[in-house]
Amino acid sequence: MDNRKADDRREPEIVYSRSVKAGKRIYYLDVKKARNADLYVCITESKKRSMGEAEPPSFEKHKLFLYKEDFAHFVEGLEDVIGYVKEQLGDIEERVPFVPNDDQAVEQEKNETSDNKEQKAGLFGFFNRK
């Protein structure tokens, strides 16, 4: 294993990213490029854990890798379970829309080309449907 090239050990390139803040959790939705140039989605949940006032907080992270051949099944399953929850709970109060600060807006604008907007709507656009 030590004879692998340095390139083989590097992290996959992130070609598009979006974060979603939800209370003590942040969800990172990253589109990464594999070594074979395929794109896949990495969803990371990061939860802040405080050990006490004396120690700095730590972060617990969980990752989910979603590959293109599974997108349709994943979306179908997610829509199904979200529909079930909505059916059981009735109207769900919507969160206040995220408004990035100036630095985040500039970074987000750089990352959003027309192709990226189409990919985002195609993969995660179902969240906006009612």
73-86 pLDDT per residue, tens? 999 999 999 999 99
Is 112 a member of any domain? yes
The residue range of the domain holding 85 is 6-128
Is 62 a member of any domain? yes
Q: Please tell me which of 18-22, 40-44, 89-93, 104-108 the model is most confident about, judged by mean pLDDT.
A: 40-44
Is 1 a member of any domain? no
- The helix, strand and coil proportions of the chain, stated in percent and rounded to the nearest 5, come to 40, 30, 30
Is 25 a member of any domain? yes
Could you give the number of structural domains in the chain? Answer: 1
CATH code, domain carrying 95: 3.10.450.700
The model scores a pTM over 0.85: no
Is 121 a member of any domain? yes
Instruction: Report the alpha-carbon distance of residue 71 to residue 125 in Å, rounded.
Output: 12
